[in-house]
Structure 1
Amino acid sequence: MKKLSKREWSWVSYDWGNSAFSIIITTAVFPIYYKAAATEAGIATVDSTAYLGYTISTFTFVLAMLAPILGTIADYQGLKKQFFSFFFILGVGSTALLAFVPNDSWLLLLILYLFASIGSTGANVYYDAFLVDVTTRKRMNRVSASGYAMGYLGSAIPFFLSIAIILLGQQGTLPISSSVASKIAFGITALWWASFSIPLLRLVKQRHGIALEPSLVSQSFKRLGQTFKEIKQYRAVFLFLLAYFFYIDGVGTIISMSTAYGKDLGLGTSGLLLVLLMTQVVAAPFAIVYGKLAERFKGKKMLYVGIVVYMIVCIYAIFLETIVDFWILAMLVATSQGGIQALSRAYFAKIIPKNKSNEFFGFYNIFGKFASITGPFLVGITAQLTGNTSFGVFSLIILFIIGFILLLFVPETASHTANKNAQTEISA
C-alpha cells in the first residue's frame, strides 16, 4: 500500500469514503429505518417492501440505460471530472437530506433514496473509468484491489460508529431515539463520503480523452453506434462482459440475500450486523492478497480462483444447519468477494481503449446492474420448488460454472485491434 503514488492514493481514497453509502444506506441502516417509518405512517408491510423494491428497480434501470451514452459524452477531454462531480454532489446531498426527513414521511425517504442511489451509482461509473488515468496497465490489479480493500475498511469505521450509536440509543445509554440515531448515521455517511472524496476531486485528472468537437451529444450517439458496428474488434471486451454478467450475478446475489438467509437460520438483527461488519474487515486484507497474487499469476487466473471459491460456497450452503455454519460461510465469502470484484474491474480496464473508458465502463455498469436479476430469481424459484433455502443458494453454482467457461475464451492479454485503431489519446 505504501508503494501507491499520490494520484493512486487519491483515487483509492474515494472508495474509502463512498463505501460507507453501500453498507449503511443500501444494506443496513436505511432499509430498517424506512420500514419503521412506513409502518408508523400506516403502510402495510408487504406494500412498503414492494415500494422499496420498485425504487431500487427504477434507479437501476435508469442508470443502466443512461450509462453508455453519458459515458460516451464524458470521454471528451475535460468532461469526465464534471460528470463525476455532478453525480457525487447529487449522491452526497441527497444522503445528507435523509437526516432531515420527518419520521413518518416514507415517500420523501424513498425519493431521496432514489436520488442518493443514482448519485452514488452514477459517480462510480466515472470513478471506475478514472482507473486508466491514475495508473499504468501493469499496476491496475494492485491499485484496483487497494481501492476495494480500503473501501471495506473505510466503510467498517462509520458503520461501527453508526451501529454503536443506534444500540446505545436503544439501550437508553444515549438520550436519543432509534430514529434520531438513524438520522445521525445518515449524516455520518454523507460527511464521511464527502471528506474522503476531496483528494480525488483535487488531484485526479482525465489524462485520456477525445478532442472536443461541435454537437457533443449527437456525436456521442454516433460514436456509440460506431462501437456497435465495430463489435468484432471488441470481441474480447464483450466476451468478458458476458462472463462477468454470470459470475458477478452469483456474487451479488449472495451478498444481497445473505441477510434473509441468516434470518432463516435464526440469526438475530444484532448478530447479522456483526456478521456484516466482520465480513467487511476480513474482505479488506484478502482484496490486497488477490491484487498481489494477480501480479504474479495474472489477473485471469485469480478470477478463476475467486469463481471456484464461490462454487465451494454454493456447495457448502447445502450443509448449513447452525449459526456457526453461517459464520464459516460468511468468512469464506469474505475471502473472495473483494478480490473478484477488484480484479474484474482491473481486467476490464486493461482490455478497453483508454480514450473510450467512460463509454465502456458504461457497458460494464449495465452488465453489472442487470446481472442482479437472474440470481435472486433462481434462488427464489429453487427454494420454493424444494422448500429449502439452502438449495436456492446451491442453484447459483450454475451461474459460476457458465461464467467460468465463458472466461476461458477471453484472452489473457488485451491487445485487441480496437486499441490499435483507437483515436489518438490526449494527455493532460
Structure 2
Amino acid sequence: MKKNNPSMINAWCMYDWANSVHALVIVSSIFPVYFSATALSASGTAETNFLGIHIKSSVLFSYTVSASFLITALLIPLCTAVADYTGKKKNFMKFFCYTGAVSCMLLYFFTKDTLTAGVFLFGLSLVGWSGSIVFYDSYLPEIATEENYDRYSARGFSMGYLGSVLLLLFNLSMILAPQFYGITHKALPARISFFTVGLWWILFAQIPFHYLPAGKSAKKKAGNWVFNGFAELRKVYLQLRGQPYLAKFLSAFFIYTMGLRTVMYVATIFGATELKLPSQSLIITVLLIQLVGIAGSYAFAWLSGRIGNIYALMIGVAIWVGICMGAYYTTQASEFYVIACMVGMVMGGIQSLSRSTYSKLIPENVPDTASYFSFYDVTEKLAIVIGTFIYGAVEQLTGSMRNSILALLLIFIVGLVLLYRIPSRKVYHFQLETNKN
C-alpha cells in the first residue's frame, strides 16, 4: 500500500473527528455534570447507593472508569489475536466503535431511576471507545512514513478537537436555550446530547471504514487464538529487551499517562464537587480546553521537530507538574479557567506526540503493527485503571479531591524523571553525524 496518500490520511484522521465527541461530551463535559446532578442521595448530598454500596458519586465515577479500562486491557489482547489470525482488523475496529456509540445513544434513558443501568452504559461506552482506538492507532505506521508521524498524528487530534467542539456547541445551544427547540423538560437536552454523540460517532466513522484497508493477510498460527493474544504481548515484551529506548519510553509513558488521563476523566467532577461551579461554566470551560487544544497539538508537533520528541514530551510533563500545583491551590472560578487553558495546551499535544513517538520507536518492517499497538494500548489502559483508582481511593480515604491532586503531582514528577533517562533521537542522530564528519 502506498504511504502518505492524502485521501487515506484524511480518512484516517476522520476517525478522530468521529470518536472525539465521546471524550468531550461524555467524558469531560455534559455527562459528568449530569451524572453529578443525578447521582445524589435523598438529602441532596453527592452520595448514592450503587448495587447496595453507599458511595460518593465522584468516587463511583472514578471507579467506573477504572473498571472499564481494566476490562478493555483484558479484551484487547484476545481481539488483536483474532484480528491477526483472520486478517480483519477493521472489523474489530467497527465492533468496538458501534458498541461505544450505541451505549452513548442508550444513555438517553439515564435518569435517577435508572442509575445502575446508566453507570454500566457509561462504562460500556468507554470500553467501546478505548477498544476501537488500538486498531485505529495501529494504522498510522501502515499508511504514513516516519517523518510524517508527528504531523499526521497532530492533524488527527486537531480534527478530533474541532469536530467535538462543533457538536458540543449544538448541544450547548439546547441546554442554554431549550425553548428554542421546543424542549420543556429540564433534563432532556442533556439526554439528547448523549444520543447525538452516538449518532455522530457512527455516521462519520463510515468515512475511515470505507477507505482504510481491512487488514493484512491472515497468519495461520498454531494453538488456540484465545491465548495467542497474550502470547503476542509476551513476544513484544521479550523484544523490548533488545530495544532499550522503546522499553524506557513505555515505562515513562505508563507513569505520566496515569496522571494525564486521570485528569481528563475527573476535571469536570472536580470543578462541580470541589469548587461548586455552575454547569454552564464547567461546560464552557471544557469547550475552551478543546479550542486551545487544537493549537497545542500543532505546537508540540512543531516543538518536536525543533528539539526532538523526548525533550518536547519532557516540557509537556513539566507543565503538568505546574498544573497540579496550581489546581491544588485553586479556589476561584477565574483560577480554574486559567488552569483549564494550560490543560488544553498540553493535553492533546502530549497524547499526539506519545502516539507518534511510539510509532517511530517500533522496529522497521514489523509484519504486524496491531500487536505492538496492542501492547501500547494495554499499557495505557492499565495506567488509566491505576491512576483513576488512586484518585478515587485517596479521595475516599481522606475526604478531599485536593489530596488526590497531590498524588497526581507525584505521578507526573516520576514520569518526568523517567523521560529524562531517554536520550532524544534527534540529538542522538546529530551526534552520530558529527562524529562521522
Verify same fold: TM over 0.5. yes
State the match for 1:138 in structure 2: 147
Contact 1:145 1:291 in 2 (8 A): yes
Q: Percent identity?
A: 28
Name which of 337, 340, 357 aligns with 2:350: 340
Corresponding position: 1:297 with 2:307: yes
Contact 2:153 2:356 in 1 (8 A): yes
Q: What SS does the aligned partner of 2:367 have?
A: helix
Corresponding position: 1:279 with 2:280: no
For residues 249-398 of structure 1, the aligned pairs below 5 Å read 249-263=258-272, 264-353=274-363, 354-375=366-387, 392-398=404-410
Contact 1:41 1:106 in 2 (8 A): no
State the match for 2:16 in structure 1: 15
Q: Cα deviation per residue 1:360-391 (whole Å; 9 max; x = unaligned)?
A: 22222222223235545666787799997556
Question: How far does residue 395 in structure 1 lie from its aligned partner after superposition?
Answer: 4.7
The separation in 2 between residues aligned to 1:318 and 1:103, in whole angstroms, is: 32
For residues 165-204 of structure 1, the aligned pairs below 5 Å read 165-169=174-178, 174-204=182-212
Task: Name whichever of 257-266 and 336-345 sits farther off.
Answer: 257-266
Q: What SS does the aligned partner of 1:355 have?
A: coil
State the match for 1:80 in structure 2: 89
Residue identity opposite 1:105 in structure 2: T
State the match for 1:246 in structure 2: 255
TM-score (norm 1): 0.84
Q: What SS does the aligned partner of 1:178 have?
A: coil
Question: How far does residue 81 in structure 1 lie from its aligned partner after superposition?
Answer: 0.9
Residue identity opposite 1:46 in structure 2: T
Question: How far does residue 66 in structure 1 lie from its aligned partner after superposition?
Answer: 2.3
Question: How far does residue 77 in structure 1 lie from its aligned partner after superposition?
Answer: 6.9
Q: Cα deviation per residue 1:144-195 (whole Å; 9 max; x = unaligned)?
A: 11111111111111112112212223x6873331333223212211121112
Q: What SS does the aligned partner of 1:196 have?
A: helix
Task: Name whichever of 83-92 and 26-35 sits farther off.
Answer: 26-35
State the match for 2:170 in structure 1: 161
Task: Name whichever of 283-292 and 248-257 sits farther off.
Answer: 248-257
Contact 1:351 1:413 in 2 (8 A): no
State the match for 1:47 in structure 2: 49
State the match for 1:424 in structure 2: none
For residues 19-34 of structure 1, the aligned pairs below 5 Å read 19-34=20-35
Contact 1:71 1:359 in 2 (8 A): yes
Contact 1:18 1:193 in 2 (8 A): yes
Question: How far does residue 310 in structure 1 lie from its aligned partner after superposition?
Answer: 1.3
State the match for 1:421 in structure 2: none
Residue identity opposite 1:19 in structure 2: S
The separation in 2 between residues aligned to 1:383 and 1:117, in whole angstroms, is: 22
Task: Name whichever of 41-50 and 172-181 sits farther off.
Answer: 41-50
Task: Name whichever of 45-54 and 145-154 sits farther off.
Answer: 45-54
The separation in 1 between residues aligned to 2:120 and 2:386, in whole angstroms, is: 26
The separation in 2 between residues aligned to 1:320 and 1:95, in whole angstroms, is: 32
Question: How far does residue 216 in structure 1 lie from its aligned partner after superposition?
Answer: 6.3
State the match for 1:423 in structure 2: none
Q: Cα deviation per residue 1:98-124 (whole Å; 9 max; x = unaligned)?
A: 335677333333333333222111101
Question: How many residue pairs were aligned?
Answer: 411
The separation in 1 between residues aligned to 2:77 and 2:306, in whole angstroms, is: 33
The separation in 2 between residues aligned to 1:380 and 1:42, in whole angstroms, is: 23
The separation in 2 between residues aligned to 1:60 and 1:221, in whole angstroms, is: 17
Task: Name whichever of 229-238 and 395-404 sits farther off.
Answer: 229-238
Task: Name whichever of 150-159 and 306-315 sits farther off.
Answer: 306-315
Go from structure 1 to structure 2 and tell me whether the alpha carbon gap of 1:309 and 1:225 turns closer, same or farther (over 3 Å shift): closer
The separation in 2 between residues aligned to 1:43 and 1:374, in whole angstroms, is: 30
Q: Cα deviation per residue 1:229-250 (whole Å; 9 max; x = unaligned)?
A: 4441243333211101111222
The separation in 2 between residues aligned to 1:312 and 1:31, in whole angstroms, is: 25
Go from structure 1 to structure 2 and tell me whether the alpha carbon gap of 1:285 and 1:363 turns closer, same or farther (over 3 Å shift): same
Instruction: Return 5+ residue gaps in structure 2 as ranges.
Output: 51-56, 427-437
Contact 1:72 1:356 in 2 (8 A): no
Task: Name whichever of 317-326 and 19-28 sits farther off.
Answer: 317-326
Question: How far does residue 408 in structure 1 lie from its aligned partner after superposition?
Answer: 2.7
Residue identity opposite 1:158 in structure 2: L
Question: How far does residue 288 in structure 1 lie from its aligned partner after superposition?
Answer: 1.4
Residue identity opposite 2:339 in structure 1: L
Go from structure 1 to structure 2 and tell me whether the alpha carbon gap of 1:348 and 1:77 turns closer, same or farther (over 3 Å shift): farther
Contact 1:37 1:104 in 2 (8 A): no
The separation in 2 between residues aligned to 1:201 and 1:150, in whole angstroms, is: 17
TM-score (norm 2): 0.82
The separation in 2 between residues aligned to 1:304 and 1:38, in whole angstroms, is: 38
Instruction: Return 5+ residue gaps in structure 1 as ranges.
Output: 415-428
Go from structure 1 to structure 2 and tell me whether the alpha carbon gap of 1:207 and 1:290 turns closer, same or farther (over 3 Å shift): farther
Question: How far does residue 359 in structure 1 lie from its aligned partner after superposition?
Answer: 2.0
Task: Name whichever of 41-50 and 233-242 sits farther off.
Answer: 41-50
Contact 2:183 2:189 in 1 (8 A): no
Contact 2:65 2:388 in 1 (8 A): no
The separation in 2 between residues aligned to 1:54 and 1:261, in whole angstroms, is: 15
The separation in 1 between residues aligned to 2:411 and 2:41, in whole angstroms, is: 40
State the match for 2:161 in structure 1: 152
Q: What SS does the aligned partner of 2:277 have?
A: coil
Contact 1:64 1:369 in 2 (8 A): yes
